[in-house]
Amino acid sequence: MKIRSFAHRGLQRFYDEDSTRGVPPDAAEKLRKMFAYLDDMQDAEELRALPIWKAHTLAGDRQGTWSLSVTRNRRMTFRIDTVEGEICDMDLEDCY
């Protein structure tokens, strides 16, 4: 799927330029793997095939937002526009 937009500038820089400035350096390799998987993904349900990333959708006011575990306390979150088949609002959040 194509990534349409980013909410996290460091994550966008990492994706576009492979610059680790703005992302945790210890998570860089995992983020590369995640982006490679997301780029090749055809359907959102494919995310559930990788239990190590603890993929799930959020509830409440963030319903429809996907969350992937990057490190113990960081999550990559995003929405999927199913009509366009694009990933939107890609973010890297500290959960604690």
SS3 73: coil
* pTM for the model: 0.91
Structure tokens at 18: 């492979």
Rounded Cα distance, 42 and 25, in Å: 28
Question: Which residues, other chains included, contact 50 with Cβ-Cβ below 8 Å and sequence gap of 6+?
Answer: 37
Which pLDDT does position 95 carry in this prediction?
A: 84
- How do residues 66-81 score in pLDDT, each as one tens digit? 999 999 899 999 999 9
Integer Cα distance of 67 and 69 in angstroms? 7
- Report domain extents, the chain: 2-94
pLDDT in tens, 34-87: 999 999 999 888 998 889 999 999 999 999 999 999 998 999 999 999 889 899
**Does the domain at residues 2-94 carry the CATH identifier 3.90.550.10?**
no
> Any bridge partners for residue 32, and if so which?
none
